[in-house]
Every structure is written in C-alpha cells, then in structure tokens.
Structure 1
Amino acid sequence: LFLSLSLLYSFFLLRNISDDKQSPIPNAEIKIEQVSHAFQFGTSLRTEMFNNDVPTFEQTKYLQIAKELANSGVHEDALKWYSTERNRGQINYADADRILAWSERNYSLPMRGHNLFWEVEKWNQEWLQKLEKDDLRQAVLQRATEVCTRYRGRITEYDVLNETLHGNFFRGRLGDRIIDEMFAQCAKADPQARLYLNEYDILSGKLVDTYVQKIRVLLDRGVPIGGIGIQAHIRENISVAQMQASIDTLAQFGLPIKITEVSVIADNESRKAQVLSDLYRVAFSHPAVKGITLWGLWEGSAWEPKTALYDRQFNPLPAAIAYRNLVLKQWRTNTIGQTNLFGIYSTRAFFGTYRVTVKSGDQYIQKKINFNDQNNSQHQFQICLNSKV
C-alpha cells in the first residue's frame, strides 16, 4: 500500500589499487550495514528523566529505550519559556543543557528546539501575562535572541511559534506582525537554523486549509519560515487517505515537513499500534516529510499515559513492537553479496550512514559511507581495496 521514497539505488564500485591499472575486483565479498538513518526518527525527552547525577532504575531504562528507538531528540518541556524563566529575570537553562548534552552523545542527528513561543494563554507565565505592551515585545525579542544564540550550531531547528491557530496570546497584545519579528529575530541570532510553525488539527483536515492560508500570508510578507510542523496527537479515527491528503496540501510550499508530536489514544492497544503504523508509513513514504517524533515513550512519564509505547514496568506494548518492526527492521538496509565481473555491487538502500566491509582473498577494507538524498536516483561510491586481512 505504501512505497518509501527514501529507497534509491546505490552502486558500489570496487577497484584494486595495488597495481597501476586499478583493475576491477570480481566476486569480492561485500557486507553493507546501516549505522544510522538520514530520516529523523525522533522522540521527546522528559526533564525528570535527567535530573539525578546517579540515574534511578526508571531513568536508566527510559534512556536506554530512547537511545534505541530514536536518532534525534527534542526537549518535551525543558526549553519552553515557562521552564527557562518561570519567574521574571530568573533564567535557567540547566535542564535544557543537560538534555542537549545527552542527545549529542547518543544521537546521530541534532536536536529540535521546542518551543520558543506558545500562543495559548494558559501556557504563558503569569508575569508574562501582566507585562505592558512594550515590555512584552522586548521580552519576546530577548528570548528569541538568547535561545538561538545560546544553542547556535547545536540545535538546528526550532518550533518558533506553537499553536497560533488555537490562541493569540502574543498577536492579541502585540499585533499579527509580532510573528514577523519573532522569526526575523531568530534568523538574525542563528542564520543557519530552520524555523518552523507548529500546529495541530491538521492531519484530520480540520484546520489544514486555515494553516495553508496562514503560511501563505506569512511567506508573502517575507517571514523566514523554513519548515512546517504538524502535531499528531490522534484521538479520533483519521483515515490513511486523509493523513496523506493533509500532507499533500501542505507540501505545495516546497518546505520540509516534520510530524512533530506523535501520540495515539485508541479503543485498545492493538488499534493504537495500527494507527501508529499507518501514520509512520504515510510520513516515511512522503517526499516532503523529513522526520517524525514520538511524544510519550513510557507510561510512567508520558504526558498522557495511555499514549505510551511501554507500560509502567517497561514492557513493550503492541505500538512499541509495531514501531520497532518498521523503524529498526523493515526500514533498515543490511545486506551481504558479491561484486559482479566488473567489480560492481548494487543494492537498494535507505538514506543514511553505512559501514561497508569488503573482502577479496587476503585483502580487506571497511569504510563508512554517507548515502543521502541529492535529488537523483543513483549514487556511485568507489572503494579501493589495498589492505591485507
């Protein structure tokens, strides 16, 4: 039913450089192992899982699962404004820094930054709600500058504005053009960062047209939107066709799309697993989608326990089994073969980083190769074999 467009041909051309002729090597044994994905399979990371110098059993298990299932992380709550500046002027990035450091040690892809500004009033601190107009604008610009400068080169993309279709905390006080200022200030502080809007009620189609209108207006004004975020907190029946149609609609802008927050509640665990699988297949197979992020790994820490992939005892639920089967098995390229008479071995491979091992007689070499999307269907790598086993 689904075709992953991340599947392309990769050609490995083997030559012997032990002589001047660089002759091809037929019948060489070749082993190709995928080390990591170029596609972002992310997970949110909860602050309380990082707050002990000596991790508890639960923290250790949680982090083991997070490391195994994902190749990228996002602060679930540690980078939100109410976490970094609960009281005015008392700024604390310790939790965000700790999570980022762990992510950099354990993941192949950079973290996402979530989120800089949240339009829903109840998620903004009381002191922020009481600021006069000029002070609020100054606070907004200061936060954009501060965060994007602090994490420049480490966090490579941000959900700059969260849920602007469901609230107007900033726009109601400062006018619609405050969005332009938010994005411009972030871009000034970190010109390389990719800046996202992030919204829900999109996959269902409920607000997809409204989202399109909002994005178009902002782009026409020159707002440096670099990507489109689609939350996926699924609490209703959404067909595969509807998911596909919603993503297709947003793909018209030619911007990368991220499914930023995935959590599913269904009638039973089997149904939850099926919905999760459907969503991941749709996302991974769509050329505009560049990543998808889980929002609740473990029942003991998930913001809504029923969405978790692992129960309180860390047993995998059907959704975890389905996820692992897709992401860690089906969508991995690991193969063994031999070169043909012309020293060529070709295979279909997912984009990512590979460890390639080649043996021919007493010669041996192992190389790491990055195989990424460059908008063509064939990639050729030449491997020179001159090492002895």
Structure 2
Amino acid sequence: MNPMRIAGLLALAMAAARAEAAEVAAGDDWHAQAQKRIEVLRRSEVRLRVLDAAGRPVAAAECRLRMTRHAFPFGTAVGDRAFAIASTQPADGPGRFYAEFKTLFNGATLEGGLRWAALETPARRAQTERIVNDLKRLGVHLRGHTLVYGGWEHLPPRLRELEKDPEALRAEVRNHVKRTVEAFKGRIDTWDVLNEPWSHQTLTRILGEAEMAEWFRIARAADPIARLVVNENNIISSGIKLEPYLKIVRRLIDDKAPLDAVGVQSHFRASRFDPQTNPPPSAQVLWERLEKVAALGLPIEITEFDVFNDKPDAPVQFSDDDQARITRDMLYVAFSHPKVVAFFIWGFWDGSHWMNNAPIYTRDWQVKPSGRVWLDLVRNKWWTNEQGRTDAEGRFAASAYHGEHELTVRLGERTATRQVRVRPGEAAVVEVVLE
C-alpha cells in the first residue's frame, strides 16, 4: 500500500480519535471503562535492554516499537468475485478492493465460495481454491463459511429429492462435512460448522437435533486443529434469538460436540428494531447480552457485523451517525470482553456488500463516519506505536498490544532492528547489541 495512502487513513483516524476524546470528556464513561479493561486484557509489557559490543549499557538510545500485525483477528467478509478480480489489478484502479483489504484486515471470510452448492460448481470451486491460497499467502486468519446451512434454499437443489429418505440425506451431509474439511485442512483456521441452526431447521427436523453434534465430531476428525464454531443472527444486536440460541448451544455442549467457540453474527438490520418495544441497544445492553453468551463458558467470535436500513417504512432508520455509534459500541464491547477472540465485519465496501451499506467505505471509496471509527480504534488507538529513549542502565519499557512488532533502536549512526512478538500473560524481553 502506498505510504501516502496509509498516512491519509491515519490522519482520518486521528481526527476521529479527537472527536471520541471529546465525547468521553463530555460524560460518556462507558467507553473509558471499556478501555481500562482493554489495557489489562489486550496488552503486555515489552522490556528492552540495549548494550554495546563490550556488554555495557547504552543510554539515550532512541527506541521505537511499531505494530505490524494484531494477534486478535480483525477481519472482513470478502465477496468472491470482487476479491478474485481485484487481486490481479492495479491498486489505483480495479485492484483497490484488494489493496484496502491488505491494509486494514488480518482476517477474512469468503462470503459464498465455501458454501456447499458453490463447491459443487467447477468454476466456483476453482475460484475458491485460488482465493483461499491467496489469502493464506497473505497470512490472514481465514474463516470457512459454512459447512452446514440447514435450509433448502442454502443446500444443493438435488438434496430436496432426499427429503423422504432421511438416512440417505444424513449420509450426504456427513460426507460433505468430511470431504470439505479434509480438502481445506491446514488452510482454513476456523469453520462455521453449523450456520443459523435456529433460523434454518430443515435438516434438524428431518435428521434430529442430535445430528448437530455429529457434524462437529466429523469436522474435528477431519481437521483436529481448526477452530469449530456454531453461528447465528439476532443474538446481541436485536436479542430476538438469544434465548433459543443459548438452548441450542447448551444442547451441543451436553451432546459432547467438540465446539470451540460461539459465533455471534451481529447484523444490525433496522427493521428488527422498534423505538418503543425493542430500541437499538446501548453499549451496556450489548454487554449484558454478550455476558449471557459468555456464561456458556466458550470463546466468542463476532462473525458478521454490519449496520444497515432494509425497509424504507421501518420505524427505525439508521443515519450515518447511528452506524458510527453502533460500530464504536460493538468494537469496545467485543474487544474489552475476555471471552471474545475475533471480530469480523460482513464486508467493508458498498460496492461489494449484500445490502450496499458496508461499515467502512462508500461505493466511490469515501470513508464513512463508521469507517473513521474503525480506523481510529483498530489502526490507531489499539495499534502500538511507542517511542522513547533508554535510561542510564540501557533499559526501555513499553506496553504493547498483543501481536507482531518491529523494534528499531538507534544511536547516532548505529541502528538495530528486531521483530518482537507480544503475547498475552507474559512480558516480551529483548536484548539488543548496538555494534
């Protein structure tokens, strides 16, 4: 990415940071309290000692610690066609989608390329293979979406013929899970094994609810390393499906399914809300709903966040400022919660978004207010950029967000650079010799 482009994005982020600081100063202390949790949960100390060739401490050496990649996955869904086209084009033209993705995210979900019907279409399968391999070369955390999506509209049409033959249908689904996970073993980091089990119950009505745990067992046998997730909508956004979803997850736990995390989609669809009976939630309400999910005892992934209007006559219509507020609240709620292990948005550009209203960019690549929030938090406030000088003992210490960093030490003409990984629960101890 062009350095001038990065500088421009960070300038926007800094402007948003100043706006947020004013908001907190005006009395909004929920985010301030969340930030205190983040400081404890998401940061560890880096301890540096700088010596000369004779082993003597070097005082007053200039030190800079700069983050290069978060350990926490901040990801996005990518449209298969948009990604495939953009990955081969110049960044100042059709390739901008690809360039922006590489700059802003360290995680990706293929919107449709890993779904069952797509994998049975040779051209789609070949495209999916290329995209998956490209994403793995970029080193991003890759989510596989999805193995079982239990409504007829999300299954290959031929399966409808097996509606009256449960055992044949059972075998088809089990074989699909096994074949798909084996085919992408080592390339997919996380699988949505079961998507929207409350919203789409066709398969479980035919095969029985106990079959859900079997799909997880098959996936685990096919890839013992991949994280296995169940995923559903309207859990903490509107809260409409929270209680039935908790019941489904408890059933999976009771059935000894190898379930590694609970997926919370987090689509904020305006028509789901009503100003009187179910208003858009505050940060506190989001936290309380998330706490109910956390009580299950499993890690949580925010898997499909976005905010959009879907019906012009709905009683709630989100403005750009509403979209920004909800984005800020969701990021703070998620990143400050000890059970949350990933945050994915469902597309970042209006030109490749299922509702033409992505959280970050308009169709002509203007940064939205919600995009400024994302840039401020993910690439500024929660992005290590520390500097200072060593003391008389040659020591320098800084608090850093978990992830990969570049450490540069300079004194006069002497310079040394080290790569530093900051992990949870331990200090990163580094010794640098300036020759």
Q: TM-score, normalised by structure 2?
A: 0.82
Q: 1:305-336 deviations in whole A, cap 9, x for unaligned?
A: 13453222222222212211211111111121
Q: Does 1:84 align with 2:119?
A: yes
Deviation at 1:14, TM superposition (A): 1.0
Stretch moving more, 229-238 or 358-367 = 358-367
Q: Secondary structure at the match of 1:142?
A: helix
- Tell me if the contact between 1:302 and 1:308 (Cα under 8 Å) persists in the aligned partners: no
Q: Look up the match of 1:14.
A: 49
CA separation in 2, counterparts of 1:333 and 1:54? 31
Q: Look up the match of 1:68.
A: 103
Q: Does 1:219 align with 2:290?
A: no
CA separation in 2, counterparts of 1:59 and 1:353? 30
Q: 1:278-322 deviations in whole A, cap 9, x for unaligned?
A: 111111111111111111222222100134532222222222122
Deviation at 1:229, TM superposition (A): 0.3
Q: Secondary structure at the match of 2:288?
A: helix
Structure 1 vs Structure 2 CA RMSD: 2.1
- Tell me if the contact between 1:50 and 1:98 (Cα under 8 Å) persists in the aligned partners: no
Q: Look up the match of 1:264.
A: 307
CA separation in 1, counterparts of 2:123 and 2:192? 20
Q: Does 1:118 align with 2:149?
A: yes
- Tell me if the contact between 1:45 and 1:99 (Cα under 8 Å) persists in the aligned partners: no
Q: Secondary structure at the match of 2:190?
A: strand
Q: Look up the match of 2:431.
A: 383
- Tell me if the contact between 2:73 and 2:141 (Cα under 8 Å) persists in the aligned partners: no
Q: 1:321-369 deviations in whole A, cap 9, x for unaligned?
A: 2211211111111121012223221112111100001124554311101
Q: Secondary structure at the match of 1:328?
A: helix
CA separation in 1, counterparts of 2:88 and 2:67? 33
Taking a change above 3 Å as real, the CA distance of residues 138 and 322 of structure 1, as seen in their structure-2 partners, is: same
Q: Which stretches in structure 2 are left out of the alignment for 5+ residues?
A: 1-30, 274-279, 309-316
CA separation in 2, counterparts of 1:117 and 1:176? 13
Out of 395, 402, 405, the position equivalent to 1:351 is 402
Q: Look up the match of 2:369.
A: 318
Q: 1:226-269 deviations in whole A, cap 9, x for unaligned?
A: 11100011024122112111211122233221100011025211
Q: Look up the match of 1:282.
A: 333
Out of 232, 243, 251, the position equivalent to 2:266 is 232
Counterpart residue type for residue 339 of structure 2? A
- Tell me if the contact between 1:41 and 1:70 (Cα under 8 Å) persists in the aligned partners: yes
- Tell me if the contact between 1:30 and 1:357 (Cα under 8 Å) persists in the aligned partners: yes
Q: Look up the match of 2:61.
A: 28
Taking a change above 3 Å as real, the CA distance of residues 330 and 15 of structure 1, as seen in their structure-2 partners, is: closer
CA separation in 2, counterparts of 1:197 and 1:258? 10
- Tell me if the contact between 1:73 and 1:111 (Cα under 8 Å) persists in the aligned partners: yes
Q: 1:10-51 deviations in whole A, cap 9, x for unaligned?
A: 1323142623xx443332211110001011110101111144
Q: 1:122-169 deviations in whole A, cap 9, x for unaligned?
A: 222221122232222221122111121111111111000000011212
Counterpart residue type for residue 255 of structure 1? L
Stretch moving more, 7-16 or 93-102 = 7-16
Counterpart residue type for residue 278 of structure 1? D
Paired residues, what number? 378
Stretch moving more, 71-80 or 202-211 = 202-211
Q: Secondary structure at the match of 2:112?
A: coil
Q: Secondary structure at the match of 1:74?
A: strand
Q: Secondary structure at the match of 1:155?
A: coil
Q: 1:178-200 deviations in whole A, cap 9, x for unaligned?
A: 11211011000001111000011
CA separation in 1, counterparts of 2:93 and 2:161? 39
CA separation in 2, counterparts of 1:59 and 1:49? 9
Q: Which stretches in structure 1 are left out of the alignment for 5+ residues?
A: none
Counterpart residue type for residue 213 of structure 1? K
- Tell me if the contact between 1:240 and 1:279 (Cα under 8 Å) persists in the aligned partners: yes
Out of 200, 206, 218, the position equivalent to 1:167 is 200
- Tell me if the contact between 1:7 and 1:348 (Cα under 8 Å) persists in the aligned partners: no
CA separation in 1, counterparts of 2:129 and 2:100? 21
Matches within 5 A, 1:119-268: 119-131=150-162, 132-203=165-236, 204-235=238-269, 236=273, 237-265=280-308, 266-268=317-319
Q: Secondary structure at the match of 1:244?
A: helix
Counterpart residue type for residue 53 of structure 2? S
- Tell me if the contact between 2:402 and 2:422 (Cα under 8 Å) persists in the aligned partners: yes
Deviation at 1:73, TM superposition (A): 0.7
Taking a change above 3 Å as real, the CA distance of residues 25 and 64 of structure 1, as seen in their structure-2 partners, is: same
- Tell me if the contact between 2:324 and 2:369 (Cα under 8 Å) persists in the aligned partners: yes
- Tell me if the contact between 2:62 and 2:410 (Cα under 8 Å) persists in the aligned partners: yes
Q: Does 1:304 align with 2:355?
A: yes
CA separation in 1, counterparts of 2:43 and 2:61? 23
Taking a change above 3 Å as real, the CA distance of residues 343 and 11 of structure 1, as seen in their structure-2 partners, is: farther
Stretch moving more, 311-320 or 111-120 = 311-320
